[in-house]
Amino acid sequence: MNIQWDAEKYTNDFSFVHQYGSSLLDLIDGENLSVLDLGCGSGALTKELAERGYDAEGIDASAELLQAARTHYPELRFTQADAVSFQTGRQFDVVFSNAVFHWIDREKQADMIAHVFDALKPQGQFIFEFGGHGNNALIHGALARAFEARNLTYQMPFYFPTVGEYASLLEQGGFVVRTALLLDRPTRLNGGDGLCEWIRMFVKAPFEGIGPDLREEIIRSAAADLEGILCHNGSWYADYVRLRCKAVKPLV
Ligand code: BEZ
């Protein structure tokens, strides 16, 4: 799924995305390694990888986000490419990815995994986190009810697999799975209108063909539905569930 990103808003108002990704970097085993940041967005974690001493570079499909990455971190190398078809001129010790794979359709995951496998050296580490089974289930449920109340059908646009399903895809792709966890991560959203802003930023495809007034009415209705559940003392929380994995490319 390709979406048009508002790079500045994404970088400033949704900085929790890369802040949470920071702890994922601790799963990297070894020093002075080459690391490919797959779906690097505006480059905050690519920069952190470089600060930790890794030879880091980033790939992303979005021209808007890459422009922000190049502006903020001109010393780093960023390339525009799609995660399901990217080619690298060299093999890396680590392929790292944060909050990206839920944007890739289920049918394209095997292609993406195959490209990661090719991009890694033998014994290379594939370390990633993205939305897992049940991610944002309350939000998508409320949106589905708001669509249905207006005789519309809500198509949840993301891929949120279970540990079993994803570990199996990794094994079919030749990887050995070392760690695979599904964890709840309720996440505080910025601002008093946090949930509506979150929906406007991330949930675009289901609203295609729907006019701006109706779109806004649906978003407000979903937020009103969830106020007693996801809003506490004036702050909104998104019901994030993460799938966090480390897999290794075997020596032979
Ligand atoms: C996530 O990081 O889990 C996510 C963010 C936006 C849309 C869907 C999932």
Give the rounded distance of the alpha carbon of 241 from its chain centre: 12
* 16 C-beta closer than 6 A to ligand 1: no
> Is-contact 25 52, C-beta < 8 A?
yes
Residues of the chain with pLDDT > 90, as a percent, come to: 89
Q: Among the atoms of ligand 1, which is closest to the Cα of residue 99?
A: 2
Q: Find out whether the beta carbon of 21 lies less than 6 Å from any atom of ligand 1.
A: no
- Within 8 A by CB and 6+ apart from 228, the residues are none
Q: What is the CA radius of gyration of the chain?
A: 18
Nearest alpha carbon, ligand 1 atom 7: 202
Q: Tell me the whole-structure pTM to 2 decimals.
A: 0.94
Cα–Cα dist 30/20, whole Å: 21
Nearest-CA residue for ligand 1 atom 1 is 131
| Measured distance CA(98)–CA(17) in Å, rounded | 8
Determine how many CB atoms are found less than 10 A away from the CB of residue 222: 24
Q: Ligand 1, residue 17: give the atom nearest the CA.
A: 2
Structure tokens at 144: 């589905």
Mean pLDDT estimate for the chain: 95
1 — pLDDT class (breaks 50, 70, 90): low
- Ligand 1, atom 5: nearest CA belongs to which residue? 202
- List Cα–Cα distances, 152 to 146, 206, 218, in angstroms: 8, 10, 10
101-150: pLDDT as tens digits: 999 999 999 999 999 999 999 999 999 999 999 999 999 999 999 999 99
User: Ligand 1 centre and the CA of 56: distance in Å?
Assistant: 24
**CB of 98 closer than 6 A to ligand 1?**
no
- To test ligand 1's pocket by mutation, which of 2, 97, 135, 183 has the most ligand atoms within 8 angstroms of CB? 135
- For residue 188, pLDDT over 80 is answered with yes
- In one letter, which amino acid is 201? M
- Domains of the chain, each with CATH number or no CATH: 7-135+158-189+240-248 (3.40.50.150)
Token pair for 208: 């295609």
Asked whether 202 lines ligand 1 (CB < 6 A), one says yes
Give yes or no for residue 2 having a pLDDT over 70: no
26-68 confidence digits (pLDDT tens): 999 999 999 999 999 999 999 999 999 999 999 999 999 999 9
- Tell me which DSSP letter residue 189 carries: P
Nearest CA to ligand 1 atom 3: 131
Q: In 3D, which of 34, 90, 81, 87 has the Cα closest to residue 59?
A: 81
pLDDT on residue 3: 67
Ligand 1 binding pocket includes 100 (Cβ within 6 Å): no
- How far, in Å, CA of 73 to CA of 23, rounded? 21
pLDDT at residue 22, rounded to an integer: 82
pLDDT band, very low/low/confident/very high, at 181 (cuts 50, 70, 90): very high
Written as one letter, the residue type at 232 is H
